[in-house]
Amino acid sequence: MNKRILTALLVTAALAGACADDSTDVATEPAGPAPTEAADLPQRIVSLSPTATEMLFAIGAGGQVVAVDEQSNFPPEAPTTDLSGFNPNLEAITTYQPDLVVLSGDRDGLVAGLETLGIETIVNEVAVTLDDTYDQIAGLAIATGHEDEGAEVVAGMRRDIDALVARVPERPEPLTYYHELDDTLYSVTSDTFIGQIYALAGLKSVADAADPTGEFGGYPQLSPELVVDADPDFIFLADTKCCGQSAETLAQRPGFETLSAVAEGRVVALDDDIASRWGPRVVDFLATVVEATATVPVA
């Protein structure tokens, strides 16, 4: 997975959201009307979003999916192709004769091009909150004729997340963390979707100091000095697959060997994909964080 492209897209999407009018609805409403009759339900879906692909299969719509983009690597049965969600090609998409295309953003006028051809689209932008995730799952479920299954997925996620949060001990001060998106030190603040998952586990991002006004949309690029000075309680690496990062490579960076998280074994290797998608597997992401931080005794 090209994580640097993903990081750039996250930053761009966040900045676009930060610059939008406050009345703009972000990531909660599927584009276009949802089909209501069985005959109108899509039977040839193309997903150009790894997160949407995970959602579609989770709600039982996998049998209607005929093609997914090159980054959609979960679940294993997803029909992965060389289609790109980053640089979409209208002609290549139409070879799969879709009646619905799901995207995480409209790039290069793709939505207009598809709609000119009579192909329905749903655009689910990067989630800002968990409610956005729930709304997107529900929207896809309605659009594909799996409303009940979608409701079950959301209810299950809510139950699992509540159970995980109930395990989080109360602490006098929140634990701090550094979440690494890639090896150029892009990170996330507490105001992002990823940051809100950490907040559920009682953590606060050291990157908050690098983006106090939201100028960078919650995805600032940190300096090594900021990370070293902040000395976070935990370091979470979301660049293990893309960039080959680990506790060992981290310790080799100048000054990083002095970090408490490195010295005390509190560097957590994440699955890049799970940590960067806002679909049903956010439960797995939260579980990893909760389990890792449970090792720290309450003062």
Handedness of CA 168, 162, 177, 238 (dihedral sign): positive
Residues 40 and 158 in one domain: yes
23 assigned to some structural domain: no
What is the model's pLDDT at position 40?
A: 86
Domain membership flag for residue 43: yes
Residue 286 has pLDDT above 60, yes or no: yes
CATH of the domain at 40: 3.40.50.1980
pLDDT tens digits for 145-201?
999 999 999 999 999 999 999 999 999 999 999 999 999 999 999 999 999 999 999
Q: Are residue 73 and residue 115 in the same domain, yes or no?
A: yes
Do residues 141 and 180 both lie within one domain? Answer: no
Q: Are residues 158 and 199 in the same domain?
A: no
Same domain, 156 and 177: no
Within a domain: residue 6?
no
184, 4 in Cβ contact below 8 A?
Answer: yes
Statement to judge: residues 204 and 87 lie in one domain = no
With a cut of 60, say whether residue 205 has pLDDT above it: yes
The domain of 151 spans: 31-123+127-164
pTM confidence score: 0.87
User: Do both 240 and 157 map to the same domain?
Assistant: no
> Is 12 inside any structural domain?
no
The pLDDT of residue 163 is: 98
> Are 206 and 283 in a shared domain?
yes
Q: What is the pLDDT of residue 41?
A: 96
Domain shared by 241 and 138, yes or no: no
Domain-embedded: residue 57: yes
Residue 137 lies in a domain: yes
User: Quick one: what percent of the chain has pLDDT higher than 70?
Assistant: 87
Q: 216 and 143: one domain? A: no
Average pLDDT over residues 221-226: 98
Judgement on whether residues 176 and 252 belong to the same structural domain of the protein: yes
Interior angle at CA 254, CA 250 and CA 258, nearest 5: 75
Dihedral of the alpha carbons of 191, 197, 200, 203, in degrees to the nearest 10: -70
Judge whether 5 lies within some domain: no
DSSP of 76-107:
TTS-B-S--SSS--HHHHHTT--SEEEESS--
Q: What is the CA radius of gyration of the chain?
A: 20
pLDDT tens digits for range 176-185 = 999 999 999 9
Number of domains in the chain: 2
Helix, strand, or coil here: 270? Answer: coil
Residue 117, in any domain of the structure: yes
What would the pLDDT profile of 41-72 be if each residue is shown by its tens digit? Answer: 999 999 999 999 999 999 999 999 999 999 99
Q: Are residues 178 and 232 in the same domain?
A: yes
Please name which of 121, 98, 97 lies closest in space to residue 109, comparing C-alpha atoms.
121
